[in-house]
Each structure stands twice: as structure tokens, then as C-alpha cells.
């Protein structure tokens, strides 16, 4: 059996300000909150992380030494990176609506949501039979993609999961498929 624990990176200024992220760092409060999270993690047999600064700092704060994987990188938001959602809504309302309604579109010149889902699914399939406990430190978009992959849900359901900074999502694999695991307190 393989256990997979997804960890969404700690909070950044982009999270707090409702902006499309760039490669910004965690804030001091996020580092402290991340350090506190380490007691909730089981020992890992392997650790993977997005190569972004915020994912690297999350791994550091947890005392983990990951293998960096581009498959776990955040969505490329193209020209929207660093801009607020409100600003995009004002400047490009049709493009924002199209991006959220059609996962195969990328009006921002970056990566379509459907492409994020494909690369996450490929990464998950590569680790389906790994065995042991895997920790993956990534981003809300990647965790959403992992959830819809596990549930075999349509890509159009991507926006139906809210993933907070430092969210822990657990999955298990029997070697043939992933299952979402909901644990009690």
C-alpha cells in the first residue's frame, strides 16, 4: 500500500491579497504555523515538492528534504501572475470567465487548468505502486487536480474544492487506484 499526504504550501502575500501568485516567500507567521504542523505528519519514506520558493520554504519549515518535481509546480498564470483577481475581473472579465468555465483555455497566456490536471495525474500514476508514505508539498491548484483525479471527476469540477494554505489531504493506493482518505481527530 502507498500512502500519499499532500501539503499545500504555507500562506503568502498573494494568498492574503487574492492575487495570482508569483514566486513569493512565506511570511513569518506562515513559517511558524508550518513548523507547528510537523507534529501531525507521519514519517515519510519519500518527499517531493514543487520547485517554487514557497514550497521549498514549507519543506524547510517542516524539516523535510524533498526531491523537487516540475510536475508539482503551480499553474503558470502567464500575464496574470502577481495581479489581483479583482484587477483581472475589472480589466479582462470575459477572459477570467472563460478561464474558469473552460479548463482547456488559457487566456492569460499561461497554462490551462486541464494541462495542470494531466501532469498531476501522470505524476500520481508514476507513484501508484511506490509503497510506503509519500509526502508531496505543492499548491492549491495541484491539490485540486489530485482530488479530481482520485475521484475520477470531470475537470470542470476543479473549482469545487477550496484548498487552504497548509491543508493536509491524504490518499491511499492499493497499487491500482488512488482513494481519498478522510481521517478522524
DSSP classification of residue 100: H
| Phi and psi, residue 168, nearest 5° | -110, 125
Cα separation, 147 vs 159, in Å, equals: 11
Task: Return mean pLDDT, the chain.
Answer: 95
Look up the pTM and report it.
Answer: 0.95
Domain containing residue 14: 2-181
C-alpha distances out from residue 135 to 30, 45, 184, Å: 19, 8, 19
- Confidence (pLDDT) at 183: 78
For the chain, the domain total comes to 1
Query: Mean pLDDT, to the nearest integer, of 45-66?
Result: 98
pLDDT interval class at 32 (50, 70, 90): very high
CATH code for the domain of 23: 3.40.50.1240
Task: Say whether pLDDT at 167 is over 70.
Answer: yes
H/E element holding 47? strand 46-49
* pLDDT > 70 fraction of the chain, expressed in percent and rounded: 99
pLDDT digits (tens, 9 = 90+) for 89-122: 999 999 999 999 999 999 999 999 999 999 999 9
Place of cell 524539516: 63
Amino acid at each position: 500500500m502507498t500512502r500519499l499526504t499532500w501539503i499545500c504550501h504555507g500562506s503568502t502575500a498573494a494568498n492574503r491579497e487574492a492575487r495570482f501568485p508569483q514566486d513569493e516567500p512565506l511570511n513569518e507567521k506562515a513559517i511558524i504555523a508550518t513548523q507547528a504542523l510537523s507534529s501531525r505528519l507521519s514519517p515519510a519514506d519519500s518527499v517531493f515538492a514543487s520547485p517554487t520558493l514557497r514550497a521549498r520554504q514549507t519543506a524547510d519549515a517542516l524539516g523535510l528534504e524533498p526531491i523537487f518535481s516540475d510536475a508539482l509546480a503551480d499553474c503558470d498564470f502567464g500575464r496574470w501572475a502577481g495581479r489581483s483577481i479583482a484587477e483581472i475581473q475589472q480589466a479582462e472579465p470575459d477572459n477570467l470567465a472563460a478561464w474558469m468555465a473552460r479548463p482547456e483555455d488559457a487566456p492569460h497566456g499561461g497554462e490551462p487548468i486541464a494541462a495542470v490536471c494531466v501532469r498531476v495525474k501522470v505524476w500520481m500514476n508514476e507513484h501508484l505502486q511506490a509503497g510506503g508514505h509519500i509526502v508531496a508539498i505543492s499548491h492549491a491548484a495541484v491539490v485540486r487536480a489530485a482530488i479530481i483525479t482520485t475521484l475520477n471527476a470531470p475537470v470542470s469540477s476543479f473549482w469545487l474544492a477550496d484548498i487552504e494554505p497548509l491543508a493536509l489531504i491524504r490518499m491511499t493506493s492499493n497499487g491500482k487506484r488512488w482513494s481519498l482518505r478522510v481521517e478522524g481527530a
